[in-house]
């Protein structure tokens, strides 16, 4: 695990040079001769990008074929980056899931009114103040699952007709695909830009769903 974190750190310090903005990425892809599956992949990624506001945060992307691998959650699948490095999809899923959870936990520290017990303006006693909530509303993992399920239904592309895939199985793979997408963009974009995007468009909507503000 240390080696994996070290590799991610090195990749962030040396970002890929051949990256393009979201809109340009799709203009290029739309001019290519895409088959039916690729067109559907493109539609899914466009929809996800609009939902998360990639353009507003200056999020950059690499090759369409590599990015679309995030929709096919095979943990041993290899995703190639523009600088020649490659990572297993499972590693991107782990990274993305960790970033989402950290973003939500960071937002929990800012939910309640400021008090003299705060440390650097952050409320580390937030868990005690949430004791009246159900377990599902206190668990970052459960909250993120609910968020993904509500906004990115059928995100993952499975090798069988959607009509025969049990909903429970589909949701598991939807979550893995979403994690992979976040992991992928985090490695080829400015770390601060990705952090702000996750705060504004994932963590804050989740918090609003729990507390109403």
Determine, yes or no, domain membership for 110. Answer: no
Within-domain flag for 164: yes
Is residue 112 in a domain? no
The answer for residues whose C-beta is within 8 angstroms of residue 213's C-beta and 6 or more apart is 207
How far, in Å, CA of 96 to CA of 110, rounded? 22
pLDDT of residue 128: 53
CATH number for the domain including 23?
1.10.1520
As given in the structure block, the two tokens for residue 49 are 């990008």
Instruction: Count structural domains, the chain.
Output: 1
Residue 123 belongs to some domain of the structure: no
How large is the greatest C-alpha to C-alpha distance in the chain, in angstroms? 61
pLDDT at residue 30 is higher than 70:
no
Predicted TM-score (pTM) of this structure = 0.79
Which residue segment(s) compose the domain that 172 sits in? 2-100+133-211
Residue 118 is assigned to a structural domain of this protein? no
Choice between 135 and 13, residue whose per-residue pLDDT is larger: 135
Top mean-pLDDT range of 4-13, 15-24, 53-62, 91-100: 91-100
Q: Give Cα 186 to chain centroid, integer Å.
A: 8
Evaluate whether residue 117 is within a structural domain: no
Query: Would 109 be classed as within a structural domain?
Result: no
Question: Average pLDDT of the chain?
Answer: 80
Q: What is the pLDDT of residues 109-119, one digit of tens each?
A: 777 656 555 55
């Amino acid at each position: 695990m240390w080696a994996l974190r070290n590799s991610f750190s090195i990749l962030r310090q040396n970002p890929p040079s051949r990256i393009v903005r979201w809109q340009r990425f799709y203009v290029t892809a739309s001019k290519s001769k895409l088959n039916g599956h690729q067109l559907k992949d493109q539609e899914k990624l466009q929809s996800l990008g609009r939902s998360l506001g990639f353009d507003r945060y200056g999020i950059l992307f690499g090759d369409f074929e590599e990015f679309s691998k995030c929709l096919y959650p095979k943990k041993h699948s290899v995703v190639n980056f523009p600088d020649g490095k490659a990572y297993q999809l499972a590693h991107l899923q782990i990274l993305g899931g960790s970033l989402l959870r950290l973003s939500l936990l960071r937002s929990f520290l800012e939910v309640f009114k400021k008090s003299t017990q705060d440390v650097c303006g952050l409320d580390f006693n937030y868990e005690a103040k949430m004791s009246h909530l159900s377990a599902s509303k206190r668990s970052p993992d459960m909250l993120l699952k609910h968020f993904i399920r509500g906004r990115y239904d059928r995100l993952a592309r499975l090798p069988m007709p959607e009509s025969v895939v049990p909903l429970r199985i589909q949701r598991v793979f939807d979550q893995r695909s979403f994690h992979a997408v976040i992991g992928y963009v985090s490695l080829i974009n400015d770390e601060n830009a990705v952090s702000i995007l996750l705060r504004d468009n994932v963590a804050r909507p989740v918090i609003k769903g729990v507390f109403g503000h």
